Amino acid sequence: MRILLVEDDDLIARGIQAGLHARGLMVDGVRTAAQAEAMLSAVHYQVVILDLGLPDEDGMSLLQRWRADGMALPMLVLTARDAVEDRVAGLRAGADDYLLKPFDLDELVARLHALLRRAAGRSVATIEQGALRLDPERGEVSLNGRPVVLSRRELALLAALLHARGRILSVDQLKDSLYGFSEEIESNALNVHIHHLRRKLGADLIETVRGVGYRFNMVNA
């Protein structure tokens, strides 16, 4: 899962990034609305965390503009304004969730996963596909009831493929959900991770669609 964090306070942004990273989530941090728009057009994100007090544009109007433009990404709004009318206005403007500063890191992670789950149309925390079972929040995978140990990248890759539910994901899309913006990516890194996943979970679980990308094989799972 790849997250865009729009937060103008450097210290808070660093904290959230470090915390989410430690919880196995990929986060890119930007400080202004303009940077956020540039990132959104370049990278495939699954969730946006938006602070309302941005230096170049009010977060609320940015949110409205994005929603008016038809952007459907789940949005979690972070704010230090606790008045009820502020919260209501945030939700009306198109936020999917609302978290008041100061917040609990675990709560933020749980809410992000819940947002993703809802966006994928699921109502339970775990994703089950045949004998495969994934709990994205805890990072636990089991096959036929036996736990399988996956690295962070493998976990992210599996989660992205499962979220897509059989849709083909391009190599770029998969890379976006695996690596942060500033991370160096080796050319065959994705292939290596796919290879590891196939070795641990079965060779026919992930299907290669030549020239397009990869997809999760729903039939064989």
Q: Which amino acid is at 25?
A: L
CB of 21 or CB of 118, closer to another protein: 21
Residue 148 class from Cβ within 10 Å (0-12 exposed, 13-18 middle, 19+ buried)?
middle
CB of 183 to another protein, least distance (A): 16
CB of 22 to another protein, least distance (A): 5
Q: Say how far apart CA 141 and CA 131 lie, in whole Å.
A: 11
CB of 102 or CB of 211, closer to another protein: 102
CB of 15 to another protein, least distance (A): 3
Two tokens at 24? 């196995």
CB of 36 to another protein, least distance (A): 15
DSSP state of 58: B
CB of 52 to another protein, least distance (A): 10
CA distances from 201 to 191, 204, 216 (A): 15, 9, 12
CB of 104 or CB of 204, closer to another protein: 104
Residues forming contacts to another protein in the complex (CB under 8 A) are 8-12, 14-16, 18-19, 22-23, 31, 53, 55, 80-83, 100-106
* Unique residue bearing structure tokens 């008016």: 68
* C-beta of residue 6 within 8 angstroms of C-beta of residue 30: yes
CB of 53 or CB of 202, closer to another protein: 53
CB of 80 or CB of 192, closer to another protein: 80
According to the 3-state scheme, what is the secondary structure of 146-192?
EEECCCHHHHHHHHHHHHHCCCCEEHHHHHHHHCCCCCCCCCCHHHH
